[in-house]
A and B are shown apart, each in its own frame.
Chain A
């Protein structure tokens, strides 16, 4: 029997290590039980963490969720020793049965095919599931130009957000003649609310390394860099181990697989700057400078890292490469829509019932992801919107839930495919506040190099702050639109140019909320604190004192069995009393 414990960041944060300790201790107490204890990366169902998978001797995997040390003991006694699954905690079985199996069976996993199925520190396990077969095929049977053509034919587009065709990018980087070229993996996943790249690096680092080596071979680069967020220590550790294993086995280093192609890979840790996700800023950061974007042209394909031709791809893009080379461009292009091919990984989070890592064929709808896989809102309240693409993206409202997920259709809504963050919101979320949130983010992360981003986003943020404080003025919406237009047209880099998107999409679909804030000084979602007031209805209040006891700032007074009152200046508008009152006596307006 083999036991795999899910130890991605989410698994560890939910207490996965304690579960592992429990199993280790029990395995020691029962030395006669034949049990291989292993670990794996993210299994995808973040909402069921900590998770484990028990693989019987006949190969059937049983996945358990919400495992605590106590439950672990029970599973050990009943399933591992006794041979009978503890159905109560079973999430799914790998034969497709189980209460939560739909979360996985409704996905199509190419990039995530090995994530959560292998020990990320074991090269053998990765190879048993196909790792480096694409590299072998490329190096032994294809010329670099053929590799570029194959990727071009697959229709793969950059998964980092902009959606530029990967094959074309490689073609540009392959063209210049130079003594040195570089290929770089952008693992600086800085969008708040996105964790796809982290999960791939933690769960299957070899898929990214394989993509880099194939890319290096295709464009003629012998040196590669992975630029990873310093906030992802587990991903970096597993990458370091994976690089070492790949070097030992001849997939990296000199004369790869006996050929005359050599490729060396280095990890560079970021130091906390969102703008370094922009490729020219990322290059500046690897060079040891402030991570500020540069004017393009010259493009990195001609003059990039250390002024040499360079190519930069995102983690998920590279994780597709091995599969494409191995299975052929045609097979890849058979998945997706006419203009957008393959699958896309999304990080589903926010007010969603089944949050986690979701890989779907491009062409599925927002509804498929949010409702069929995600199970709808966690609060049970009506779904209001989903934010896609982070600070560069926008909100898709509930009435457009049938929107097909591909690059062009999403762009037409004002949102973008983005890197894959999907944040679900219910009716309690204020759309003006969401716009303010993202502007606050882009403004504080603005590198300060160009005026339109540095000052323009600041002015927009000031207006949004005023609106959410109830100090909005007539004409504010028009000012926001004017600033947005100017920033979009004039900012230096892609991040600046897209910074107004969260404001523009919320203005497009939720203009009435802006107007309510400005004109009526009301927040329809009851979220902007300066615009709301909590009151107790003396008719309905029976004086049970529960609200007074729960109030964190003692703003509610009243004696037992007589109506209570809220001291308004003291009230911090946290809403605790509203959810505590069983008699519906407290209202918010």
Chain B
């Protein structure tokens, strides 16, 4: 991403705030990236470059860490994130049919973002609320004991409510 014109803007302010809280040594790298992602929604290229310049940690090392852990995103996400749980309990009760229904409803595949930028659809290994299986979360709110029909309703209702706001 081009960073011309941003030099004097407020764009880097959150970056400075985050960096000021750490010594900037290698053991801080994961917490720094986590905080930066909280601030920017993802890890923009110009932020990674600046992080490397300021800490002396090679870009290759930063990217090595950022691509190793599934939490980090190098591309911006949609306004809302839907996570489909693929834990064992969800799997045996039908996570796959839930995912198929959502993909069909939104017209995207797992890992993609809708064209209007409203929804990003992700799969997660386990959300840890197995008794609610099969379960999804939309922006950290859990919806459990789903069926393909129910999950279509959940998404339609969510869209309606989001539009109403």
A: residues with CB less than 8 A from B are 9-10, 12-14, 46-47, 49, 189-195, 198, 230-233, 268-274, 285-291, 347, 349-351, 355-356, 387, 390, 421, 423, 425, 429, 434, 437-438, 441, 445, 447, 552, 572, 574, 576
How far is it, in angstroms, between the C-alpha of A56 and the C-alpha of B111 when the chains are bound?
A: 50
Contact between A288 and B68 (Cβ–Cβ < 8 Å)? no
Contact between A273 and B88 (Cβ–Cβ < 8 Å)? no
Known: A269-B31, A288-B29. A441 touches B125 (CB 8 A): yes
Known: A272-B69, A289-B26. A193 touches B129 (CB 8 A): no
Known: A230-B34, A290-B68. A423 touches B88 (CB 8 A): yes
> Distance (Å) between the CB of A249 and the closest chain B CB?
27
Binding site secondary structure of chain B: helix
Top 3 nearest A-B pairs (CB, nearest first) are A46-B131, A193-B88, A13-B142
Chain A residues near B18 (CB-CB < 8 A): none
Contact between B88 and A192 (Cβ–Cβ < 8 Å)? yes
Contact between B30 and A288 (Cβ–Cβ < 8 Å)? yes
* B144 CB-CB contact with A under 8 Å: yes
Chain B residues near A195 (CB-CB < 8 A): 128-130
How far is it, in angstroms, between the C-alpha of A387 and the C-alpha of B132 when the chains are bound?
A: 18
Residue of A nearest to B28 (CB): A288
Chain B residues near A445 (CB-CB < 8 A): 125
> Distance (Å) between the CB of B73 and the closest chain A CB?
11
Known: A14-B144, A198-B128, A272-B70. A423 touches B135 (CB 8 A): no
Partner of A13, one of B30, B69, B88, B129: B129
Q: Could you give 16 example pairs across A and B, Cβ below 8 Å?
A: A9-B128, A9-B129, A13-B129, A46-B130, A49-B131, A191-B126, A192-B91, A193-B130, A271-B72, A290-B64, A291-B68, A291-B69, A349-B89, A421-B88, A552-B148, A574-B97
Chain A residues near B152 (CB-CB < 8 A): 552
Chain B residues near A46 (CB-CB < 8 A): 129-132
In this complex, the member of B29, B33, B97 whose beta carbon has the largest number of chain A beta carbons within 10 angstroms is B97
Contact between A350 and B89 (Cβ–Cβ < 8 Å)? yes
Mask of B139-165 contacts with A, CB within 8 angstroms, 1/0 = 010101000110010000000000000
Residue of B nearest to A387 (CB): B88
Considering only residues 95-109 of chain B, those with a C-beta below 8 Å from chain A are: 97, 100-101, 104
* B39 CB-CB contact with A under 8 Å: no
Chain A residues near B28 (CB-CB < 8 A): 288
Known: A273-B69, A287-B26, A429-B92. A192 touches B87 (CB 8 A): yes
Chain B residues near A576 (CB-CB < 8 A): 148-149
* B124 CB-CB contact with A under 8 Å: yes
Contact between A286 and B92 (Cβ–Cβ < 8 Å)? no
Chain A residues near B129 (CB-CB < 8 A): 9-10, 13, 46, 195
Chain B residues near A191 (CB-CB < 8 A): 126
* B110 CB-CB contact with A under 8 Å: no
In this complex, the member of B68, B69, B70, B104 whose beta carbon has the largest number of chain A beta carbons within 10 angstroms is B68
Chain A residues near B33 (CB-CB < 8 A): 271
B: residues with CB less than 8 A from A are 25-31, 33-34, 64-65, 68-72, 86-89, 91-93, 97, 100-101, 104, 124-133, 135, 140, 142, 144, 148-149, 152
Contact between A232 and B69 (Cβ–Cβ < 8 Å)? no
Known: A273-B69, A349-B133. A231 touches B128 (CB 8 A): yes
- Not counting A289-B26, A387-B88, A423-B88, a sample of 17 additional A-B residue pairs whose C-beta atoms are within 8 angstroms of each other reads A10-B131, A46-B130, A46-B131, A192-B125, A198-B128, A230-B71, A231-B127, A268-B30, A268-B31, A271-B34, A288-B30, A291-B68, A349-B130, A355-B89, A423-B89, A423-B92, A437-B88
Chain B residues near A356 (CB-CB < 8 A): 131
How far is it, in angstroms, between the C-alpha of A387 and the C-alpha of B130 when the chains are bound?
A: 14
How far is it, in angstroms, between the C-alpha of A163 and the C-alpha of B100 when the chains are bound?
A: 39
> Distance (Å) between the CB of B34 and the closest chain A CB?
6
In this complex, the member of A10, A46, A271 whose beta carbon has the largest number of chain B beta carbons within 10 angstroms is A271
Chain B residues near A438 (CB-CB < 8 A): 88
> Distance (Å) between the CB of B154 and the closest chain A CB?
13
Residue of A nearest to B143 (CB): A13
Partner of B65, one of A13, A232, A288, A425: A288
How far is it, in angstroms, between the C-alpha of A488 and the C-alpha of B26 when the chains are bound?
A: 34
> Distance (Å) between the CB of B149 and the closest chain A CB?
7
How far is it, in angstroms, between the C-alpha of A194 and the C-alpha of B88 when the chains are bound?
A: 9
Contact between A552 and B31 (Cβ–Cβ < 8 Å)? no
> Distance (Å) between the CB of B90 and the closest chain A CB?
8
Chain A residues near B86 (CB-CB < 8 A): 192
Contact between B26 and A13 (Cβ–Cβ < 8 Å)? no
Contact between A434 and B125 (Cβ–Cβ < 8 Å)? no
How far is it, in angstroms, between the C-alpha of A47 and the C-alpha of B129 when the chains are bound?
A: 11
How far is it, in angstroms, between the C-alpha of A231 and the C-alpha of B34 when the chains are bound?
A: 12
Contact between A192 and B70 (Cβ–Cβ < 8 Å)? no
Residue of A nearest to B37 (CB): A271
Chain A residues near B89 (CB-CB < 8 A): 192-193, 349-350, 355, 423
In this complex, the member of A189, A191, A272 whose beta carbon has the largest number of chain B beta carbons within 10 angstroms is A272
> Distance (Å) between the CB of A394 and the closest chain B CB?
13
Chain A residues near B125 (CB-CB < 8 A): 190, 192, 274, 441, 445
How far is it, in angstroms, between the C-alpha of A473 and the C-alpha of B97 when the chains are bound?
A: 27
How far is it, in angstroms, between the C-alpha of A405 and the C-alpha of B64 when the chains are bound?
A: 42
> Distance (Å) between the CB of A392 and the closest chain B CB?
12
How far is it, in angstroms, between the C-alpha of A47 and the C-alpha of B30 when the chains are bound?
A: 36
Chain A residues near B68 (CB-CB < 8 A): 273, 290-291, 447
How far is it, in angstroms, between the C-alpha of A387 and the C-alpha of B33 when the chains are bound?
A: 36
Contact between A351 and B131 (Cβ–Cβ < 8 Å)? no
Residue of A nearest to B132 (CB): A13
Residue of B nearest to A10 (CB): B129
Contact between A285 and B30 (Cβ–Cβ < 8 Å)? yes
